[in-house]
Amino acid sequence: MIRDVQIIVGATEAGQRLDRWLAARFPAVARAQAEAAAVAGAVLVNGRRAAKGQMLAAGDAVQILQCLEKSDFAAVPDATLPLSIVYSDEFLLACDKPAGMPVHPQRAGETGTLVNALLARHPELAGLGGDMLFPAFVHRIDTGTSGLVLAARTPEVYAALRTLFRTRQIHKEYLALVHGRVGQGARLEDELAHHPAQPERMMRVTDHNRVKARKPMRAVTECSIAENFTDFTLLRVVIETGVTHQIRCQLAALGHPVVGDKIYGAANAETLGLTRHFLHAARLEFAHPVGGAPLRLAAPLPAELEAVLARLRKV
């Protein structure tokens, strides 16, 4: 962090915007951080608060009271957090994330995430991929969802895995317990968008709400029946795309919300002894980015989800 620094603007720097000048003067400061410091009033020009776009003149005195640097956004290692690695080689690793743990921090200093746990065991992965708060991992799953998350161990493999996800060359399979008896499997193809009035959820775009939808995203999901119960169905779900809350939103729109998913209207799951939603990233299959050998990764159902199924099988 830069604190209590004063600099006189040189003749060759005249005519530059304050935020761009600050980022150029201090390579460790990102443009967004320079803008944030100016907006917060932490950068003064000739003793006065200045707008981020103020044009500087030769001889101006710029006083930086406080400005965050890129390193201030680095995720903090935390060895007290659990970390379950189900596969590891010299190029990549796969973690089995518990439900309730975010994949990565959203802001500087935040802890309690999978990234914090990983960096405590593999500090060499800090910064891999360019995002100091989201290093090494090449995709995300929801905080309340358990299961597989992939991380790269080299820049080359990071780029290769991102390409595999972007070009849909990774088989992504989940297990979801839903309300109601599902009669048969289905292929769901929808456009999803962030709900304009409820930012924490997604919505299925229809002719009636299309005008309210911003940046609709195509979502393709394949569902098959793994096991039927009296009032519930265990589904095997394969997603071709990777839209936020894709499985949860589409299944709820189908009339079969994921058990325990309060955001999408599921009934209280505490009667099943469950305090989370029943969605688990169970399998990933793809060609290894180094050598191309088939790689099939699996994460078993957590004990609390197995207990729910055992209870239902007794009914």
Phi, psi of 263 (to 5 degrees): -65, -35
For 57-107, the pLDDT digits (tens) are 999 999 999 988 777 778 999 999 999 999 999 999 999 999 999 999 988
Amino acid at 152: A
pLDDT band at 222 (very low <50, low <70, confident <90, very high): very high
- State pLDDT tens for residues 287-311: 999 999 999 999 999 999 999 999 9
DSSP 169-222: -SEEEEEEEEES---S-EEEEEEEEE-SS-TTSEEE--TTTGGG-SS-EEEEEE
pLDDT tier for residue 108 given thresholds of 50, 70 and 90: confident
CATH architecture label of 74-166: 2-Layer Sandwich (3.30)
Which element (helix H / strand E) includes 281?
strand 279-287
Out of 19, 142, 190, 261, which one is annotated catalytic? 142
74-166 and 171-313, same CATH topology: yes
Q: Assign 236 to helix, strand or coil.
A: strand
What DSSP element (H or E) covers 6?
strand 2-8
Domain 2-72 has CATH 2.60.120.380: no
Alpha-carbon span 213 to 173, nearest angstrom = 28
CATH 3.30.2350.10 given to domain 171-313: yes
Rounded to an integer, the average pLDDT of 160-179 is 97
Output the pLDDT for position 207. Answer: 65
User: Amino acid letter at 1?
Assistant: M
Told to judge if 190 belongs to the known catalytic residues of this protein, a careful annotator would answer no
Question: Among 57-66, 81-90, 219-228, 269-278, where is mean pLDDT lowest?
Answer: 269-278
